[in-house]
Amino acid sequence: MSSTALEDKFAPLRRYEHIIPGFNEFLKCLEKPLPKTVRLNTLKAEAEQIMASLEERGIEFEPLSWYEHGIKLLNVEKPGNLLEYFLGLIHPQEEVSMIPPVLMELEPGELVLDLCAAPGSKATQISQIMGNTGHVVANDVSLERISLLRDNYERLGVLNMSITMYDGRRFPLACQFDKVLVDAPCSCEGVIRKDYGALKNLSPGLYWHMHRLQRALLLRAVKLVRPGGIVIYSTCTFAPEENELVVDYVLKRVEGLELEPVEIRGLRHYPGLIEWEGRELHPDLAYCARFYPHVNDTGGLFVAKIRRIS
């Protein structure tokens, strides 16, 4: 497809031409199928045992370069049809979706909140990293999505999780958590390789509607974490309104917060923006990370790591 045809097809994304390096390569990548990646669930078996089982059944894969419990399937179209899926040995999860829990510096025995948890990929990954110790509160506002979350944690053998159904903006402050994940609802531009339908709804109105929801969720999250604790804020969109502008809003209104650099050895990323449409943002937003599809052959992700220092 010609560059002009590509730009027409992905016209709503043209606003990012000056902030996404290699913009034409970015557009070309959006036309390619997303690789099939799964997480090896070590709550049920050792990673080596799961990979041996896959090899014995002729399933080809390659390990992810940066995460020992992630693999890319090479000759499987639907991982959810595999026997290993039904046994809870693997969980289909997009590669960049595995990043936020890894950044949480999780320790055994901690009390952790996933504020927008359903359908549960990241929440169950948190339980896995913690080895089923401590306690994970998986919250979501949607009853329908919570049923998917329950199915996933039962299939994967999670034992340290409870499910709550609150509007995350008003999650009750009964205690403070060691770590909080806010994988916020968003405009989903980063999943276009999997679902072109995300293009249909993009508009300035949507970006600012999501911005108001996201900043309220993040404001609640930084109050729910203990001093010294970590809040991870992530979205699967490229929109600065839903990413840097949300974090900037919270940093300027809540004292005692500090952004920490995001580093994932083995994955390339670009820094967060410190300016958008003539508006200067907090300089530490450069510590955030933007993962673009054409850089690592993945979906898209924005992630910020916030520590509450007081």
Percent of the chain with pLDDT over 70: 98
pTM: 0.96
Q: How far apart are CA 273 and CA 289, in angstroms?
A: 9
Beta-bridge mates of residue 234: 183, 303
pLDDT tier, 3 (very low <50, low <70, confident <90, very high otherwise): low
Domains defined for the chain, CATH in brackets: 95-308 (3.40.50.150)
Give Cα separations from 277 to 19, 239, 241, 250 (angstroms): 11, 12, 11, 19
What does the pLDDT read at residue 6?
72
List the catalytic residue out of 29, 116, 236, 288: 236
Q: In this structure, which amino acid lies at residue 140?
A: D
Stretch 100-116: mean pLDDT: 98
15 neighbors 49 (Cβ within 8 angstroms): no
Q: What angle do CA 116, 236, 2 make, to 5 degrees?
A: 160
Residue 150 has pLDDT above 90, yes or no: yes
What does the pLDDT read at residue 201?
86
- What are the strands, taking DSSP E only, across 140-251? 161-164, 177-183, 225-235
- Is 175 catalytic? The answer is no
CA atoms within 13 A on the CB side of 157: 16
Residue 5 has pLDDT above 70, yes or no: no
- What mean pLDDT value characterizes the chain? 96
8-30 confidence digits (pLDDT tens): 788 899 999 999 999 999 999 99
